[in-house]
Amino acid sequence: MENLGNKISEYRKQLDLTQKDLGDKLNVSPQAVSKWENGQAEPDASTIKKLCEIFKISTDELLGNDPPVKEIAITAAPVQPVVERVVQPVVQPVVERVVEQKIINGYCEECKKPVGPNEYVVTHSGRGGSIQHIYCNECNEKRIRSARIYAYDEFKRQNKKSLILGSLIALGVTALFCIMFMVIIKLEPLWATGLIAVGVFICWLAFGIQVFWEDSVVPDIFFFFLKSFTFPGVIFTLDLDGIIFLILVKVGGAILCAILSVIVFLFGLLFTPIASIFILPFAAIKRAFEGRSLKKAAN
């Protein structure tokens, strides 16, 4: 019976199921589903009943004893029903019947509109992606766009802040050294020459630190060591001695970490400005490119 096969195939595709998906639901092989759809075999009565339950139709509809159904799926925007698929007409005269059927997978978190297959995006947030969000395609696009615009604005803001602060510090240091220079040149001319060299050097350092502080290695290392304050403990024995030992180990570890982070911090403080001088031109170029690509993404 070819009609039954065609109908099974039609209804299956409407639900976006593969032959294997349908077979799994019915506990039969995908080959069996394929044979039904090609008219090489017919499902038994109990399987037909199950098929109708899956397709949410009556047995009459599946077996073609009913007038043909022109099915209209109501799409997500409930303004105007759009004809998505017309089930192929069979023998009898055409009687139109609107079946309000819509597969809903969830609701968009932004606009609360119901969304069906291929109409939404699932995103995850939180530690290890524990919270799931569903957004319709339009809202998701808007979110991506506003995130890009935000990233570019944030970049511009940070860049401006760094440049202003860096310039101010460099200017301040220059002014300080000019004053010192004018005082010292009256006392000792040779010292003053040396002071100019040191002053220019320190201006560069101050500028470099300020502009590239956020990208520098110092805070990263510092916070890495700070994090070790919360390292998990292992209880060696579950009696009082064991617990005291554990506390001592944790306190000792914390003190060690504090000392280490101060040493690393001071070392980084010394290292960063020296490195900044050499990094400055390259980093400035890199920032310019970064800004350009962020701007391009936002527009």
Give the nearer residue to Zn ion in terms of CB position, either 110 or 215. Answer: 110
The C-alpha atoms of residue 107 and residue 125 are separated, in whole angstroms, by 17
Per CB under 5 A, 115 contacts Zn ion:
no
Per CB under 5 A, 75 contacts Zn ion:
no
Q: How far is the CB of 135 from Zn ion (least distance, A)?
A: 6
Which of these ranges, 103-111, 218-226, 268-276, 287-295, lies near Zn ion under the rule CB under 5 A? Answer: 103-111
Per CB under 5 A, 69 contacts Zn ion:
no
Q: How far is the CB of 125 from Zn ion (least distance, A)?
A: 17
Give the nearer residue to Zn ion in terms of CB position, either 134 or 170. Answer: 134
Query: Which residues are 124's β-sheet partners?
Result: 132
Give the nearer residue to Zn ion in terms of CB position, either 27 or 125. Answer: 125
Q: Quickly count: other Cβ atoms within 10 Å of residue 120's Cβ.
A: 22
Q: How far is the CB of 107 from Zn ion (least distance, A)?
A: 9
Per CB under 5 A, 77 contacts Zn ion:
no
Q: Site for Zn ion (CB under 5 A): which residue of 4, 139, 206, 211?
A: 139
Q: How far is the CB of 78 from Zn ion (least distance, A)?
A: 13
Query: Which residues are 162's β-sheet partners?
Result: none
- For residues 40 and 68, is the Cβ–Cβ distance under 8 A? no
How many alpha carbons lie under 13 Å from residue 143 in its C-beta half-sphere?
Answer: 16
Of 82, 90, 102, the C-alpha closest to 14 is 102
Backbone phi, psi, residue 8, to 5°:
-60, -45
Backbone phi, psi, residue 68, to 5°:
-60, 150
Residues that bind Zn ion in the complex, under the rule CB under 5 A? 108, 110-111, 136, 139
